[in-house]
Structure 1
Amino acid sequence: MEDFSPKKVGTSRKSAAQNTEKKRAEVLLGRELPNNIDAEQGLLASMIIDKSREVLNVCIESKLNENYFYVAAHRKIYKALVALHNESKPIDEIVLTDKLESMGELENVGGIQKINEIAGRIETYAHFKQWLKIVREKYFLRTLILTCYDTIENANSNTDSLDVFLEKVEGKILGISQDRISDSAQKVSEKIDSAMSMVKKIIESRGDIMGIPTGFTELDKLTRGLHGGEMIVVAGRPGTGKTSIALNIAENAVFNKRAPVPTLVFSLEMSTEQLLMRMLCSRGNINQFLLRNGRVQNIQVNDIVSAGKELRDAPLWIDDSADINILEIRAKARRLKQQHNIGLIVLDYLQLLKPIDSRIPREQQIAEMSRGMKAMAKELDVPVIVLAQLNRSTEKENRDPRASDLRESGAIEQDADVILLLNWLTSKEASKQDVDGTVASNNSNKLVKLIIAKQRSGPTGDITLLFNRDITKYQNYQKHDDVY
């Protein structure tokens, strides 16, 4: 694992020198340098109580090091937390106390009582980003003041030329600005080769699927598969088979003959056992109702056993935690991406996620979740399928759903790269397409209209799929009358 800890060589001497300089500056100014002890303790407490390590990961990504903390004890605690992170050890008050003791710093931070006091300051780490922002701002203000103080001191005793002296001062100020801003912008020359390579692959593919196949022929033709970095929203009213189509796509991914795709499913509504039972029935073509009543034949039992063996070896992970927020989702996905190179993520479903801050309006909560899912898709470079609910407008107005019908937030429509809407075909539409009686002859079959309501990199349109409710499985359906 990459070592995110501050450089060890000369660290103690550097910290001691900074402390001395800070005290001298405070004496000169006649007051304390900018700081916020409450924000520092809130941020440290967030790292301690956050079992997902999302807080610590964000702090590290923000280039936070021990010197950002004003209080010496807080610097030592943060250093110990980063050390535990680098050693891939769990973090709590007991482990942190043991680490500080092994570093010979436990007494210096105030003992286990101080650790417990800090950890007990908050009940939730929902506001850690605000505390992180405050800690960073106070650090940069202190750094700027100390740089100005150092400039005054050096100006009085300068022996270099004015140009050399000003260059040193400008370098120090520029260094503060560079540390403050994260490295997100990239020069075009660094990425043009990969973009040209992508264009070349598209040309050479001549229409072949470039991403992960969904298993639905017409959908794959229009989307060319599911692509890394994209958020694909699948929405519909309750009972339209959102979970079923997501599981069918996941099943096709993990059993892809060309290259099985490791898949992670977050199920907030159903247990792992329920999902696996659905997949067993879908994979073995077993009627769920008959199975629940024990009315299956021996040959069908063999089909279930065969499907079970296939699923046991499949690169599939299911997390059925019900009380989970977007930060925990991203932390878990990041970890499994590192461990198993996850290539597809499914969330069932967005509106069931726990909000980070329950006090803000529901629309803002959903918007935060949606942005988090899109950010995760980009960060991990995998397609993320997000299931969502539609509002009741479609039922009241007796029409096909639209992207604007996504429930509780317009942010979902904005963030999504692809939006797929499910809707039952009306009797008139179904009879028009079911000219050979395939659907009418089987009560368990239902024709469903899959509407591609949005696609950033391709066309929109309607696709007809066949849904077998007995085995909760979507299948390709040969259309007899195009309705694009």
Structure 2
Amino acid sequence: MNSSQNWLIGKLATNPRLIHTVPVKPEWFDELAVQSLVRLMVKLDGDWLGEMDLIRKFSAADKTAAHHVDWHQIDQSQSFHFPLDATVATVQKQYTVGQAQRAATAFATQPTDSNAETLAKAFEQMQITDTQIKGDQLSSLVDEYVESIDHPQAASQPIKTMADVNMLLGGGMSGGQLIIIGARPSTGKSAFAVNLIDGIQHNGSHMVIDLYSLEMTNQETRNRFIALMSMVPLGAVKSRMLTAGQKKAVEAARGYLSHSNIQIVDSAQRLGTITQAIRKRAATAQKGHYVAFVDYLGLVEPDHPTGNRYQDVSHITRAFKVLANELDVPIVLLSQLNRENARNKREPEMYDLRDSGSIEQDANVVIFLYQEDEDDEDDAHREILIKVAKNRDGSRKKARFEFTPAYMLFKEAR
């Protein structure tokens, strides 16, 4: 193996929890024995105590392969310091380039349709590897919207958010927290997240906020922010049929957002892609000035699917919790409730979290949004109960909020 591969194996061996957030694949490594070791790491899911414990488990699982791993070179590589993300990218790039070179040689020797297809796929994979996940700044998205209005076709302190939610959370969000927001479909959990982000932006300077929108496009999410911040009905925002007063309100929202650092990402679905992007963005923020939102859990794809959704969700929530601890940032993860709760129309409980896996165990805070009277025909103003069902660092409380869907607005019911 080369120095990058040795260093990455040593890093993973001595930091078992990294296997949850580093999307490493066995085929990236030159030696078959090391490929077997990586497969074991993925299978163990971080369940080893350190390098010596991993060596013992590898020997028990595959004694022949374990004998061919050069741990002396791996240990020597650890005397150097490399950026983790850059090293992962280097090892992946080395693999894809090697695949392309072999495919090119095979096509030059035998220019068959099969070899041509293999070569095309190899170059396509190289382009995917080189692609950087980049979101759109909310301010830029609103700029784009304002310009098109007339053309309808064309850290040590808790992070403060909405005042009433701060009270429920005992002061606000804190680093290392995994916060789960659970609700049935169409209850307003995505709109609630928009309100939380707006509150964070209002209450803190130099905040860096990411919203990984797996269900809606960046433009759909942008429209929700515009409706909330301008108090222009969402329907009017979508149609771009605005009055002069509404245009001024949207312009004011645009000015407010010009100094924000809120990024919306609709191009990331896989767990490893999202965690890598969170790690990079968090590194750009001051301590205590970064929050990530993921909307929503059910759409996050595992890096190594097991075929068992319960196990996959357990791995996903554990990865987000490990990442929150590693970076000392809060991560807010939205989740749907199961169908049984919807049928019975009762107050949600922990076991109602869909494909729950280890959600309850991994989460610091679990918040449920629900309606007591879902038969209420007044859809213009819904009464939503906010229930803190779990709060590892505080008390469990409830509060009544009024949700106005037209403006995406949540406010405490008086």
Pairwise same-fold verdict (TM > 0.5): yes
**Match for residue 473 of structure 1?**
409
Matched residue, 1:415: 362
Q: 1:423 to 1:277 in 2, by over 3 A?
A: same
- SS of the equivalent of 1:421 reads strand
Match of 2:384 in 1: 448
Structure 1 residues 87 and 418: alpha-carbon distance in aligned structure 2, compared to 1, 3 A threshold: closer
Q: Deviations over 1:293-347 (max 9, x none)?
A: 343210111111221232232111222124x322222111111111334511101
Distance 2:255 2:101 in 1: 50
1:275 paired with 2:183, answer no
2:412 aligned partner, one-letter code: N
Alpha carbons 1:417, 1:456 under 8 Å: kept:
yes
Name the aligned partner's letter for residue 336 of structure 1: R
Query: C-alpha displacement at 1:454, in angstroms?
Result: 0.7
Hey, what does 2:400 align to over in structure 1? 464
Aligned mates of 1:386, 1:285 — CA distance in 2 = 26
Which residue matches 2:283?
Answer: 338
Q: Within 5 A, what are the aligned runs for 1:107-146?
A: 112-113=101-102
1:40 aligns with 2:34: yes
Please state how far the C-alpha of 1:87 moved relative to its aligned partner: 12
Q: Percent identity?
A: 23
The alpha-carbon deviation at position 116 of structure 1 amounts to 9.1
Alpha carbons of structure 1 residues 221 and 235: separation in structure 2 relative to 1, 3 Å:
closer
Task: Work out which structure has the larger RCO, using CA pairs closer than 8 Å and 6 or more positions apart in sequence.
Answer: 2
Aligned to 1:249, which of 196, 200, 203? Answer: 196
Equivalent residue for 1:310, pick from 235, 256, 261 = 256
Query: What one-letter code is carried by the residue in structure 1 that aligns with 2:386?
Result: L
Deviations 1:382-428 (A, max 9, x none): 11110001002222222111111001124111111111001013279
2:114 counterpart residue number: none
Structure 2 residue 177 is matched with structure 1 residue 230: yes
Q: How far 1:473 moved relative to its partner?
A: 1.6
Distance between the aligned counterparts of 1:460 and 1:219, measured in 2? Answer: 13
The TM-score normalised by the length of structure 2 is: 0.65
Alignment of 1:72-111 (within 5 A): 85=86, 92-93=93-94
Larger mean CA deviation between 83-92 and 366-375 belongs to 83-92
Change (3 A) 1:284 1:90: farther
Contact 2:33–2:69, Cα closer than 8 Å, also in 1: no
CA separation of 1:427 and 1:259: change in aligned 2, threshold 3 A: same
Q: Choose 36-45 or 443-452, whichever is displaced more.
A: 36-45
Equivalent residue number for residue 144 of structure 1:
none
Map Cα deviations across residues 429-464 of structure 1 (whole Å, 9 max, x no partner). Answer: x9xxxxxxxxx9x85111100011111111112110
> Which ranges of structure 2 fall in alignment gaps of 5 or more residues?
8-29, 40-49, 55-67, 107-118, 126-154
- For residues 393 and 224 of structure 2, what CA distance do their matches in structure 1 show? 33
Instruction: Give deviations 1:119-139, integer Å, cap 9, x for gaps.
Output: 999x99xxxxxxxxxxxxxxx
Q: Does the 8 Å contact 2:217/2:266 carry over to 1?
A: yes
Give the total of aligned pairs: 318
Structure 1 counterpart of 2:399, one-letter code:
I
- Taking the aligned partners of 2:361 and 2:88, their CA distance within structure 1 comes to 40
Distance 1:253 1:39, change over 3 A: farther
> Does 1:370 pair with 2:317?
yes
Q: Deviations for 1:269-294, whole angstroms, at most 9, x for unmatched residues?
A: 11111111110111000101123334
Q: Tell me, yes or no, if structure 1 residue 406 matches structure 2 residue 353.
A: yes
Matched, 1:425 2:346: no
Q: Where does residue 295 of structure 1 map in the other structure?
A: 241
Letter of the structure 2 residue corresponding to residue 426 of structure 1: D
- Give, in whole Å, the separation in 1 of the partners of 2:338 and 2:369: 13
Distance in 2 (CA, whole Å) between partners of 1:115 and 1:229 is: 47
**Structure 1 pair 116–282 and aligned structure 2 pair: CA distance change class (3 A):** farther
Determine helix, strand or coil for the equivalent of 2:411. Answer: strand
Q: Which amino acid aligns with 1:85?
A: A
Q: Any stretches of 5+ residues in structure 1 without a counterpart? A: 8-35, 46-60, 98-110, 125-197, 202-209, 431-439, 479-484
Q: Which residue of 2 aligns with 1:392?
A: 339
- Output the CA distance in 1 between the equivalents of 2:318 and 2:237: 40
Task: Return the letter of the residue paired with 1:37.
Answer: E
Does the C-alpha gap of structure 1 residues 72 and 450 become closer, same or farther in structure 2, counting only changes over 3 Å?
A: closer
State the 1:229 CA deviation: 0.3
Counterparts of 2:239 and 2:285 in 1: how far apart (Å)? Answer: 38
The structure-2 alpha-carbon separation of the partners of 1:252 and 1:112, relative to structure 1 and needing over 3 Å to count, comes to same
Could you tell me the TM-score, scaled by structure 1's length? Answer: 0.56
How far did 1:219 drift? Answer: 4.5
Distance 2:263 2:195 in 1: 15
User: Alpha carbons of 1:362 and 1:225: their partners in 2 closer, same or farther (altered >3 Å)?
Assistant: same
Contact 1:229 1:377 in 2 (8 A): yes
CA distances 1:234-260 after superposition (whole Å, capped 9, x unpaired): 00000011111111111211232x534
Corresponding residue SS for 1:463: strand
Correspondence for 1:329: 274
State the secondary structure of the residue aligned to 1:470: helix
